[in-house]
Amino acid sequence: MNEKYVTRMVLLVVSIIYWGAFQPTLVKASSQSVYGTPVHLTGTVNTHDLGGIITKNDHHIKKGLLIRSDALSHLTKKDKWQLTQQKHVGTIIDFRSAGEIKIAKDRNLSGIIYRHDSVMANRNFGVHTRRQYANQLANKHANSMQLFYQKMVTNPYSIKAYHTFANQLLNRKQGAYLYHCTYGKDRTGIATMLILSCLGVSKQTIMKNYLASNKALKALTHTEYRQLKRITHNQRALANFKRSKAAKRSYLNAAYRAIDQHYGSMNRYLNVALGLSTRKIHALRTIYLTIKLTTIAGCQTFIWLGRS
């Protein structure tokens, strides 16, 4: 066995060990650039810190400032401690209707500012018995979710809600903003699409981030599907249930199309519908983004674009 062969084998072994040691870190970093960081709570299933998501210009969303979630009505004592003491949540923005909040109110978090910012005008949106819900599903069209997503970005009441949301993010004082609806998928999904667009995140990344709710909600959706089958065997109702609980490209694309049809582009929608001027968009990016400065000895170094 010659010396050259031994050297090659040693280098190969070292390379394998090096890759094995650093691969999880690389995968984690890649995942964060699209999905942010999951916040593991007992009482929720779809909570994510948007920190780490990368923009088209290689800026990154700062960690611990923007958190998307499903409802907070089942938080445990430990969950509440984690949100207040570890994630430093300062404000909770609830997109649900008054009726939804009445039957499943968020657990109280001491010292937290709570803002109700319903996206739907109907005060009883989302409120029904299981039998009523089964009947509603049986009468829905197959494209009802696409129409719902278009409504959320064109209906004046919904636009006003997202306008209010954007202004709240602009007026941040301290702590993280946690915003949510019931499942953290539809109303929260549109809110996330809009804020990520404002921060300069690509449409491709926004879509991947949105679709991640399917994995987060899979177990809950399966449980609720079995519960619904105890009430109805109507195939249309069951098919529409699956459509309503899924995050699909066609849903978010329907919102994008509606924005383009009514406003011409996402930028114009942000300017006109949400009242976010170029100056305000820059202010949001200053608050919520970092910029990659350089790489030193294999480590990325960041510079803040504003005070946290």
Instruction: Encode pLDDT of 263-272 as tens digits.
Output: 999 999 999 9
Classify 167 as helix, strand or coil.
Answer: helix
Alpha carbon distance 248, 246 (integer Å)? 6
For the purposes of burial, counting CB atoms within 10 Å of the CB of 227, is it exposed (0-12), middle (13-18) or buried (19 or more)? Answer: exposed
Alpha carbon distance 89, 164 (integer Å)? 19
The sign of the dihedral angle between the CA atoms of 162, 164, 169, 175 is: negative
Predicted TM-score of the model (pTM): 0.86
Average pLDDT over the chain, rounded to an integer = 89
Nearest alpha carbon to residue 196 among 62, 305, 55: 55
Instruction: Please name the residues in contact with 15: beta carbons below 8 A apart, sequence gap of 6 or more.
Output: none
| Token reading at 110 | 């001491």
Q: How far is CA 115 from the centre of its chain?
A: 18
pLDDT digits (tens, 9 = 90+) for 166-176: 999 999 888 99
pLDDT band at residue 44 under the 50/70/90 scheme: very high
pLDDT band at residue 297 under the 50/70/90 scheme: very low
Query: Over 90: is that where the pLDDT of 18 sits?
Result: no
| Token reading at 165 | 């949301």
The 10 Å CB-count burial string (b at 16+, else e) for 281-307 is bebbbebbbbeeeeeeeeeeeeeebee
Instruction: Please name the residues in contact with 148: beta carbons below 8 A apart, sequence gap of 6 or more.
Output: 186, 251
Alpha carbon distance 172, 86 (integer Å)? 19
pLDDT at 29: 58
pLDDT digits (tens, 9 = 90+) for 276-295: 999 999 999 999 999 664 44
| Token reading at 224 | 């609720």
Which comes out higher in pLDDT, residue 290 or 15? 290
Alpha carbon distance 150, 109 (integer Å)? 34
Bridge partners of residue 92, in order along the sequence: 114, 178
pLDDT at 36: 95
